[in-house]
Amino acid sequence: MTINNIWVVVEPSNGALTTTSLELLTHARSLSSNVAAITWGGDGAALAAQAGDYGATTLHDTGSLNNSLPGAPVAAAIAGLIASGGAPDAILIPTSYDGRDIAGRLSARLDRPVLTNITGLNDEGGLVSEHPIFGGTQIVKAAFTAEGPGIYVIRAKSFVAESAGGAAASVNTIAVGDTGATATATITSSHAEERTGPKLEEAAVVVSGGRGLGEAANYQLISDIAKLLNGAAGASRAIVDAGWVPYSHQVGQTGKTVKPTVYIACGISGATQHMVGMKGSKNIVAINKDPDAPIFQIADFGIVGDVHKVLPALIAALQARG
């Protein structure tokens, strides 16, 4: 099957496209010479240059959604676009809070299935998607068997974003159409959590803590080491669920995917759900008191020891180096 055209849902954030959106555009143009993007939020004209730079020829834009959550209205707009002008072979959507909403809504609207948690997508005489399972030890390869468009929800950092140097995409305003009662969820205010140092997904060094830290107050050790290494502090799902640290620090299947130069896992056993989010790190360092912890099976360098002793000593050693 020739892949004639691909649509990529590209997500606006503070007047620019998210990194994952750019990764998907980059990969889409390796699969097809005809790539269009779909966005929302009222910054379409400003985003057209970036969308074009990464390979989209057209940017379909719903314009302002008047603070509605994007899931229902953007899915309705895409369904409308298909109804009026035909379907693409594939629709690529970032794995993100809003991306997942759009994918689910669109799937039900079009009565088409959806493939999620994708980390690879290749043309093997038709599109074949890759999905890590069991903590990334095995890869499921899947394909749609029915008529398109296939809806593919793709995880962050599955591809590397590269500019193509293309001209600005031409902006095509699209209508949301009828959403009935589905688009009535409205954002009334936004709150940003304070952050010092680099973003978790972009940091070259990530230091993460898990249940082995024993109690919430010990997470300070993780923050201190992250700061000394000019890195970001991450966390396992266990201590996020326990309320020790905000969800925004969570690394794993249900949290962020990170691929830093070095990932330092402290008191993390290595549950499959965590490994999926950090297995792609260039180097992995693990500190855990249990020599049988699964994390040691993927660590380049491991210390079998008590984090309550090793981490304070590590802080002292790093401080001594200035």
Judged by CB under 8 A, the chain residues 135 through 174 that form the site for another protein are: 136-146, 153
User: Which residues in the 7-46 window bind another protein by CB under 8 A?
Assistant: 13, 18
Of 121 and 169, which CB lies nearer to another protein in the complex structure? 121
Min dist. Cβ of residue 71 to another protein (A): 6
Residue bearing tokens 């993460």: 208
Q: Hey, CA dihedral for 269, 270, 273, 274, is it positive or negative? A: positive
Q: Which of 158, 253, 257, 269 binds another protein (CB under 8 A)?
A: 253
Q: Which of 3, 16, 161, 303 binds another protein (CB under 8 A)?
A: 303
Of 33 and 215, which CB lies nearer to another protein in the complex structure? 215
Contact segment (CB under 8 A) with another protein among 51-59, 81-89, 96-104, 161-169 equals 96-104
Q: Which of 46, 167, 216, 242 binds another protein (CB under 8 A)?
A: 242
Q: Is 1 in the site for another protein (CB under 8 A)?
A: no
Distance between start and end Cα atoms, the chain:
59
CA distances from 5 to 21, 34, 74, 87, 253 (A): 17, 5, 19, 9, 30
Min dist. Cβ of residue 124 to another protein (A): 8
Q: Is 185 in the site for another protein (CB under 8 A)?
A: yes
> Residue 166: which of 45, 29, 27, 19 has the closest Cα?
29
User: Which residues in the 277-296 window bind another protein by CB under 8 A?
Assistant: 279, 282-285, 287, 291, 296
Residue 154 CA to residue 168 CA, distance in Å, equals 24
Which segments of 236-275 are extended strands (E)? 262-266
Residue 177, strand partner residues: none
Q: Which two tokens stand for residue 86?
A: 């035909």
Q: Is 227 in the site for another protein (CB under 8 A)?
A: no
Q: Which of 1, 45, 160, 317 binds another protein (CB under 8 A)?
A: 317
Torsion angles phi and psi, residue 278, rounded to 5: -135, 0
Min dist. Cβ of residue 257 to another protein (A): 13
Q: Which two tokens stand for residue 210?
A: 């898990």
Q: Is 70 in the site for another protein (CB under 8 A)?
A: no
Residue 70 CA to residue 100 CA, distance in Å, equals 10
Residue 236 CA to residue 249 CA, distance in Å, equals 8
Of 160 and 167, which CB lies nearer to another protein in the complex structure? 160
Q: Which of 34, 227, 273, 308 binds another protein (CB under 8 A)?
A: 273
> Residue 6: which of 72, 54, 67 has the closest Cα?
54
The amino acid present at 154, given as its one-letter code, is I
Q: Which of 3, 161, 164, 318 binds another protein (CB under 8 A)?
A: 318
Q: Is 115 in the site for another protein (CB under 8 A)?
A: yes
Q: Which of 39, 57, 96, 158 binds another protein (CB under 8 A)?
A: 96
